[in-house]
């Protein structure tokens, strides 16, 4: 009967490809297979009795409260038009430098990633603001669109990231389950803060790799990334003052959120509430906050939060039925019997997640796939922080990969008609290569993800 669980997983993917809502696809497919199995005697319906306890656990989960707060923070900053001010200032800062506009886009994407943590919002915002400017300065369309897509996906890995919040909660449960399976009845825990700190160095290395690629390209092919010249003719003192005024508020907000977590002064949930309040103050200081704007912020935050938690509920039901059919035993046998031992298991899981990233959003993969494979991989002795960062970068790569990368769709929706889909696809290929190199470096040197948490938390 274990193979029925695999069939259920494939049917769910097919239903999703047909265009049905994710949460209802997960729950509906699971209920259909549970009903069919109950009638034929292949499924024990008592597994579903655990669903109320799981839903209550979701409702009382303190970590997940950070999700609506970080969503609220990101949407508020998006409405405050902070990206527009940053782009204007960075363009002035890098004036006269070949590739300077592209580097500005990458740095702004990093700041927005650390401020919002929402990939779609960052890609759309940067596409609307920076793409026309880059085209006006005769940038190669492939390089321009690739830089925008890559900078937008940094919200996956640079904290505070919603992906890391959700991964932290799921991996915490998976880590405890793995230890219990190994006979450790005083299990250690892994927190969202651990993942935040662990993702910091790999995230910054990715940004460095992106910027180095743009700088080298501008040096070797300056005609593809011409230097931008402004007509404002600001002095160095005026430019520095303007840069400080524009950069200081978002940087202080980022430091307040991440610094409070890394310093042990606040939990991620408490830090998220600080970030939400700081975003409101920042929007108000820019004159972007009024009753209509606040209403839009609340509606968008409610809609996105409802989507996340509805998917979580559907995924909980799906995992119960999956386990009821013995799917966890099937996956355990498949991974432990692979050649190469732990390395082979990790490689296969990463490849599967990468492929699933073509058709599933990171939320579905986090809630459906990670709870299944996480306990098995962690029971093999893998570090949970390292595994979480590897998964996050892997999911980030799937956002860029043609033909189904979500970031490509986001940019295609706001790009001018003269920019072709093929140009967008060609533009992201070098950045995909940089991310794959980062994955390899992280696999070779796990300390890139584990060293800083050990220093900060003394573990």
Give the model's pLDDT for residue 115. Answer: 66
**Pairwise CA distance, residues 67 & 165, whole Å:** 7
Q: What are phi and psi of 419, to 5 degrees?
A: -90, 120
Which residues lie below 8 Å from residue 257, measured CB to CB, with a gap of 6+?
73, 160, 271, 272, 274, 275, 278
Band of pLDDT at residue 214, cut at 50, 70 and 90: very high
Burial 271-293 (b: 16+ CB within 10 A, else e): bbbbbbbbbbebbeeeeebeeee
Give the model's pLDDT for residue 438. Answer: 93
Tell me, yes or no, if the pTM score tops 0.85.
no
| CA dist list (Å): 130 to 23, 25, 97, 105, 411 | 34, 37, 17, 7, 11
- Specify the range with the lowest mean pLDDT, choosing from 86-90, 229-233, 345-349: 229-233
Which residues lie below 8 Å from residue 239, measured CB to CB, with a gap of 6+?
92, 93
Give the model's pLDDT for residue 386. Answer: 93
Q: Calculate the CA 238 to chain-centre distance.
A: 37
**Pairwise CA distance, residues 112 & 117, whole Å:** 7
Q: What is the pLDDT of residues 263-313, one digit of tens each?
A: 778 887 888 888 888 888 888 887 778 888 889 888 988 887 888 788 788
Q: Where are the domains of the chain?
A: 64-302+405-457
**Pairwise CA distance, residues 305 & 363, whole Å:** 12
The dihedral of CA 131, 132, 137, 138: what is its sign?
positive
Mean per-residue pLDDT over the chain, rounded: 82
Q: Which two tokens stand for residue 456?
A: 């900060």
CA dihedral 354→359→361→365, nearest 10 degrees, is -50
Q: What is the pLDDT of residues 250-263, one digit of tens each?
A: 788 878 887 887 77
For residue 121, pLDDT beyond 70: no
Give the model's pLDDT for residue 293. Answer: 86
**Pairwise CA distance, residues 58 & 145, whole Å:** 39
SS3 20: coil
| CA dist list (Å): 377 to 177, 179, 277, 353, 387 | 11, 11, 39, 14, 9
226 Ramachandran zone, left/alpha/beta (phi>0; psi -120 to 50): beta
- The arithmetic mean of pLDDT across residues 170-185, rounded, is 81
Percent of the chain with pLDDT over 90: 10
Q: Which two tokens stand for residue 441?
A: 């470096």
Asked if 55 and 316 count as a contact pair (C-beta separation under 8 A), the reply is yes
Band of pLDDT at residue 233, cut at 50, 70 and 90: low
DSSP structure string for 261-313 = HHTTSS-HHHHHHHHHHHHHHHHHHTT---HHHHHHHHHHHHHHHHHHHHHHH
Helices first, then strands: H and E counts in the chain: 21, 0
The residue ranking higher by pLDDT, 333 or 215, is 215
Asked if 99 and 385 count as a contact pair (C-beta separation under 8 A), the reply is no
Band of pLDDT at residue 212, cut at 50, 70 and 90: very high
For residue 77, pLDDT beyond 80: no
Asked if 69 and 180 count as a contact pair (C-beta separation under 8 A), the reply is no
């Amino acid at each position: 009967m274990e193979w029925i669980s695999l069939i259920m997983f494939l049917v769910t993917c097919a239903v999703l490809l047909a265009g049905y809502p994710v949460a209802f696809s997960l729950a509906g497919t699971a209920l259909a297979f549970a009903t069919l199995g109950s009638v034929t005697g292949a499924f024990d319906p008592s597994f579903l009795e655990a669903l109320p306890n799981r839903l209550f656990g979701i409702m009382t989960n303190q970590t997940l409260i950070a999700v609506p707060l970080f969503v609220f923070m990101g949407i508020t900053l998006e409405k405050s038009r902070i990206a527009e001010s940053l782009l204007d200032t960075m363009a002035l800062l890098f004036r006269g430098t070949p590739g300077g506009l592209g580097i500005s886009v990458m740095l702004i994407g990093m700041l927005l990633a650390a401020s919002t943590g929402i990939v779609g919002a960052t890609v759309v915002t940067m596409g609307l603001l920076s793409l026309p400017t880059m085209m006006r300065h005769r940038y190669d369309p492939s390089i321009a669109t690739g830089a925008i897509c890559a900078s937008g996906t940094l919200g996956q890995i640079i904290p505070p990231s919603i992906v890391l919040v959700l991964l932290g909660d799921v991996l915490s449960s998976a880590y405890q389950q793995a230890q219990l399976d190994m006979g450790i009845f005083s299990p250690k825990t892994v927190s969202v803060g651990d993942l935040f700190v662990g993702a910091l160095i790999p995230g910054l290395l990715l940004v460095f790799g992106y910027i180095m690629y743009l700088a080298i390209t501008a040096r070797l092919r300056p005609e593809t990334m011409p230097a931008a010249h402004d007509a404002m003719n600001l002095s160095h003192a005026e430019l520095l003052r303007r840069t400080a005024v524009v950069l200081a508020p978002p940087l202080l907000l980022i430091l307040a959120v991440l610094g409070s977590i890394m310093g042990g002064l606040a939990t991620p949930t408490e830090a998220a509430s600080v970030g939400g309040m700081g975003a409101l103050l920042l929007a108000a200081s820019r004159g972007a906050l009024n009753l209509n704007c606040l209403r839009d912020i609340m509606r968008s935050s409610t809609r996105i939060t409802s989507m996340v938690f509805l998917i979580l509920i559907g995924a909980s039901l799906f995992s119960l039925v999956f386990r009821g059919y013995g799917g966890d035993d099937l996956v355990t046998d498949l991974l432990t019997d692979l050649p190469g031992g732990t390395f082979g298991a990790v490689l296969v899981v990463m490849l599967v997640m990468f492929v699933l990233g073509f058709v599933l959003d990171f939320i579905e993969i986090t809630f459906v796939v990670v709870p299944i494979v996480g306990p098995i991989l962690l029971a093999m002795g893998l570090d949970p922080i390292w595994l979480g960062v590897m998964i996050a970068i892997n999911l980030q790569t799937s956002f860029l990969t043609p033909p189904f990368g979500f970031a490509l769709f986001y940019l295609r929706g706001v790009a001018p008609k003269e920019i072709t889909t093929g140009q967008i696809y060609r533009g992201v290929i070098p950045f995909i290569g940089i991310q794959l190199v980062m994955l390899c470096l992280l696999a070779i040197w796990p300390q890139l993800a584990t060293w800083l948490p050990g220093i900060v938390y003394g573990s």
